[in-house]
Structure formats: structure tokens, C-alpha cells
Amino acid sequence: MKVPAIALNTFKEAKRDRILYLLLFFAAISIIFSRLLAVLTVGDRVKIIKDIGLASLSFFGVLMAILIGTGLVYKEIDKKTIFTLLSKPIQRYQFLLGKFFGLVLTIFIMLALMSLIFLALIFFHNSKIEWGMLAAIFFIFFELVLITAVAILFSCFSTPILSSIYSLCFFLIGHLSWGLEALIKKMRPGVGRILVRFLYMVLPDLENFNFRTEVVYKLPIPIQSYLYSTAYGIFYTIFILALAMLVFRRRDFI
């Protein structure tokens, strides 16, 4: 019961953060603005609304995960409340897991609110509930869970500003690492190609969670893609959390 208690307390703490509501406000503005942009653009207006809306959910969700997550552990250390918490019969891994699940709950609720605005806008435009959008939103949430774990990892040993930069770099690299695969095909066999292939295997591939194009243009998606992306998200998140626990367990707060 220790982890749920810490998670609930983290959720209560996070929902009082003003930046959360500021990002929610700008996300709503961005989603609503997509309709105006669709009217001014030549082409399928609904597809433009869907594309911009899903991109807004991902972008502002990532900002929430990074800006809130990178300060969770650091605040406890900076305010010295970490000594009070760890003096109780609480293991360090329980503390970290509680923080993680509390922030995941916060992100889930924020994403649900943004998704309601997004789906309502689509319904207002074409009088249909686009249930297909839920698949893309589901994997956006998976990506946000992973980014939350990454933000907490960096928060264990760095300041919020540096942790935010590191987490943002992780996000950007994760969406650009697919280019390494194309580079590997063009490189000649040798040490350089081996190193690039190693980087491609180690670096995260967040494009596994990107189903926006398929959903917006109603392209067929093999069930294997869904299963692979789900397994990838679960195992990579567990790996990052295990790494965070190792770092946090070895950290000296004195």
C-alpha cells in the first residue's frame, strides 16, 4: 500500500502545479486553432484537424511529462523532505515507483481532457465520433509514460533545467533515430557501419508509437504493429525505471 499512497500524494501535488493548467490551456487553443487553419487551407479539412490535433496532444503531453517529472525527485531533495520520507519504512524503489505512477495518473487525466476537446471538435465538424482516433491517442499515452520514466531518471541525479534538456533530447533523438536505418543501408561494410548499427539498436525509436498518419488517412495497420509497439513501450519503460532505481539507490543525500 506504500506505492499507491505515494502515487496518490504525488497526484495531489502535481495537480496543484499551475504550469499543468497553462499547458492544458495552450493545448486547447492549439487544437481549436486547427479548425481555423483547416478552413484557410486547401484540402481535406477534417484530415488537417486530425493531424494537428494529434500532434498537439503529443507535444503538450510531452511538455507536461518533462516539466513536471524532472522536478518530482529534485524538489524532495532540495527541500530536504527526502530525509523524512526515507526515515520511514519506505524503500527507495517504492518512493520512486510511487512518484512515477502518480505522474502517470496525472498525465492520463490531462491527456483525457485534451482528447475530449479534440474529439468534440471533430464531432462538431463532421457530426461523427471518430473512434479510430483512440488507437493513435492510446499509443501517444504509451509514449508519454516512457517520457515520464525518462524524466524521473534524469531527476534522480540532475537539476530540473538540465533534466528537462536531457529529456527533450531523448524525445527528439527518439523520433529521428529512424534515419540511422537509412544511413546503414547506404554505408559500406566496416567499423563505421557496425557503430551506426549499434547506435540504432541502443537509441530509442519513439516512431514505434506514431500511428498518426495511418489513423488520419485510414490506412490498414497490422495487428503485429500494435503488439510490437505495446511490448516495446512496456519493456523500454521497465528498463528506464530499473535504471532510475539503481541510480537512486546509490545516491548519497548527505
Q: Give per-residue pLDDT as tens, 43-67.
A: 667 788 888 889 999 999 999 999 9
Instruction: Output the nine-digit C-alpha cell for 234.
Output: 512496456
Averaged pLDDT score across all residues of the chain: 84
Predicted TM-score (pTM) of this structure:
0.88
Spatial distance between the Cα atoms of 107 and 5, rounded to a whole number of angstroms: 18
Using the Cα atoms of residue 172, residue 173, residue 178 and residue 182 in order, give the sign of their dihedral.
Answer: positive
User: Looking at residue 52, what is its pLDDT?
Assistant: 87
The whole domain housing 152 covers 2-158+240-250
The reply to whether 15 falls in a domain is: yes
Instruction: Give the residue from 93, 112, 96, 104 showing the smallest Cα distance to 145.
Output: 104
Mean pLDDT of 182-210: 76
The reply to whether 45 falls in a domain is: yes
The reply to whether 184 falls in a domain is: no
The reply to whether 94 falls in a domain is: yes
Total domains, the chain? 1
Cα 67–70–75 angle (5° rounding)? 110
The reply to whether 210 falls in a domain is: no
The reply to whether 111 falls in a domain is: yes
Spatial distance between the Cα atoms of 244 and 254, rounded to a whole number of angstroms: 19
User: Looking at residue 43, what is its pLDDT?
Assistant: 62
Cα 128–133–136 angle (5° rounding)? 175
User: Looking at residue 46, what is its pLDDT?
Assistant: 79
pLDDT in tens, 89-138: 778 888 889 999 999 999 999 999 999 999 888 888 777 777 778 889 99
The DSSP code for 190 is: S
